[in-house]
């Protein structure tokens, strides 16, 4: 079996049943058990994907055969799974999800109480898949149990940390994903009126792809305007991303939303640390420093941000794509918590979300334009670009993709860790410079793609 193609930078992901099957999940369960050691406690959850039941069966059987005791939560969000890993004092948590990928995809995200299991640890698990024998269980097989109190535990946690002070009207597009099970109850507990779009969990994702982006937010924007809501929020399939829409129906970019959260943090904790990734706006670092905070730049991806949040004991973190991380969530990204915190912020202010957004510094940008590139060619394309830029003595960083730096702007060329794509993001303090930087990167990337594909 080919496990090489499904192990990625920070999770395990593939197409069902071409790359992932119940049998492969069984072997993965055995490998994870071998990695953790016998008599470990593992909590398992899944999103609403159609292949989830089969993969859960295989995974749990492999874990139990390997000597792990498994607590099965059923359908939950990824952040609630991470919350449960801590609340129930588990050795590991495993979420069966492919996040925002199309319905035929699925996968596994691995956690311990301090964050993600990735990097060298993931490599060791991959190596164990070659040696584990699922037909020979350990002498002390584990056992399985359920736990139906986790949502109440999570709801209590939210109520302890968030207080919405006045009634708000909210529209939420849950994308037929897991948040449809939780968002309405959480907002109503806070006294909000909520209209939920595409609420029914459905692994076919009939309304649209389970990713909150411009092409999927149209219905949400229309309903926010039509119902005169205070704001809207779009969730992804497993509940770790939130994209906000203001009362005028305008999308609030992720890094701008991060500034709004940062403003709230600095009102409570002067000098707080804020973690952001390479594609976030120049305005984030400028704003944090202007408010006596500490700005920390990290690689794109929830594993890296979570890890840095914990190491730095940061108060807040964020990505332009809509991942938001909080010290209250132990450094984890949580879309439900983020949207309730946004409601709390608005409830304390006399200003609308659009007014708060417009008061924040903003520069022209182009975010995440996709260029198809097979996984096996990504490193070759990036090395070619790096070599050329180095020979031309261009100023760039190569810690996570290639970020070309200009005096008043930048452009980031970065391979996706989850899809066969290379993305280009650019920002500058003038529109002319933005177009210049983007056009240059696009031309160079297309040339490299053409050469490497032939």
**Residues annotated catalytic, as ranges:** 99
Closest CA to 32 of 55, 57, 64: 64
Whole-Å CA distances, 62 to 20, 39, 59, 121, 144: 15, 13, 5, 18, 12
Distance CA 44, CA 22 (A): 15
| Element counts in the chain: helices (H) and strands (E) | 14, 21
For 187, phi then psi, to 5°, come to -70, -40
Are β-strands 316-318 and 324-326 bridged in parallel, bridged antiparallel, or unpaired?
antiparallel
Residue 112 has what DSSP assignment? E
Distance CA 71, CA 133 (A): 23
Neighbouring C-alpha atoms within 13 Å toward the C-beta of 342 = 35
Distance CA 211, CA 98 (A): 11
Q: Which long-range contacts (CB under 8 A, 24 or more apart) does 186-192 make?
A: 186/155, 186/158, 186/336, 186/340, 187/340, 187/343, 189/155, 189/158, 189/159, 190/159, 190/162, 190/163, 190/164, 190/340, 190/343, 190/344, 191/164, 191/166, 191/167, 192/164, 192/167, 192/168, 192/343
Q: What H or E segment, with its residue span, contains residue 161?
A: helix 150-161
Strands (E), 51-124: 69-75, 92-96, 105-112, 115-116
Cβ(77)–Cβ(238) under 8 Å?
Answer: yes
Structure tokens at 436: 């210049």
Are β-strands 273-277 and 251-252 bridged in parallel, bridged antiparallel, or unpaired?
unpaired
Closest CA to 330 of 111, 86, 43: 86
Residue 451 has what DSSP assignment? H
Q: Which positions ≥6 away from 432 have C-beta within 8 Å?
A: none
- If one counts every other C-beta atom within 10 angstroms of the C-beta of residue 235, the result is 31
| Buried/exposed code over 31-59 (b: 16+ C-beta within 10 A; e: otherwise) | bbbbbbeeebbbbbbbbbbebbebbbebb
């Amino acid at each position: 079996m080919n496990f090489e193609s499904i192990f990625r930078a920070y999770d395990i992901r593939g197409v069902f049943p071409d790359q992932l099957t119940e049998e492969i999940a069984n072997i993965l369960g055995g490998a994870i058990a071998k990695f953790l050691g016998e008599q470990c406690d593992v909590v398992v959850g899944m999103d609403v994907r159609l292949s989830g039941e089969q993969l859960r069966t295989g995974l749990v059987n492999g874990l139990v055969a390997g000597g792990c005791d498994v607590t099965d939560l059923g359908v939950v969000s990824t952040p609630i799974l991470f919350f449960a890993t801590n609340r129930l004092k588990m050795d590991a948590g495993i979420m069966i999800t492919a996040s925002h990928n199309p319905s035929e995809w699925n996968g596994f995200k691995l956690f311990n109480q301090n964050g993600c299991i990735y990097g060298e640890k993931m490599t060791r698990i991959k190596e164990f898949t070659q040696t584990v024998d699922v037909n020979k269980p350990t002498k002390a097989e584990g056992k399985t149990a359920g736990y139906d109190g986790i949502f109440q535990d999570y709801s209590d946690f939210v109520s302890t940390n968030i207080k919405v002070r006045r009634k708000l009207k909210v529209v939420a597009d849950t994308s037929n994903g897991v948040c449809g099970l939780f968002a309405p109850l959480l907002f109503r507990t806070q006294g909000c009126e909520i209209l939920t779009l595409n609420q029914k969990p459905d692994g076919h994702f009939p309304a649209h792809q389970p990713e909150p982006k411009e092409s999927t937010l149209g219905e949400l924007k229309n309903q926010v305007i039509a119902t005169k809501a205070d704001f809207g929020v779009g969730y992804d399939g497993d509940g770790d991303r939130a994209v906000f829409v203001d009362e005028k129906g305008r999308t609030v970019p992720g890094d701008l939303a991060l500034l709004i959260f940062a403003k709230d943090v600095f009102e409570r904790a002067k000098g707080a640390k804020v973690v952001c990734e390479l594609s976030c706006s120049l305005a984030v670092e400028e704003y944090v420093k202007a408010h006596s905070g500490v700005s920390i730049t990290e690689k794109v991806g929830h594993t890296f941000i979570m890890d840095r949040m914990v190491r730095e004991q940061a108060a807040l973190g964020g990505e332009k794509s809509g991942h938001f991380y909080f010290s209250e969530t132990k450094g984890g990204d949580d879309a439900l918590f983020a949207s309730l915190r946004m409601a709390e912020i608005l409830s304390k202010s006399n200003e609308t979300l659009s007014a708060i957004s417009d008061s924040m510094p903003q520069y022209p940008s182009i975010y995440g334009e996709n260029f198809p590139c097979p996984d096996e060619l990504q490193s070759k394309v990036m090395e070619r670009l790096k070599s050329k830029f180095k020979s031309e003595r261009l100023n760039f960083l190569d810690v996570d993709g290639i970020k070309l730096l200009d005096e008043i702007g930048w452009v980031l060329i970065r391979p996706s860790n989850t899809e066969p794509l290379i993305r280009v993001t650019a920002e500058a303090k003038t529109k002319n410079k933005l177009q210049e930087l983007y056009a240059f990167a696009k031309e160079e990337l297309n040339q490299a793609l053409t050469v490497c594909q032939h």
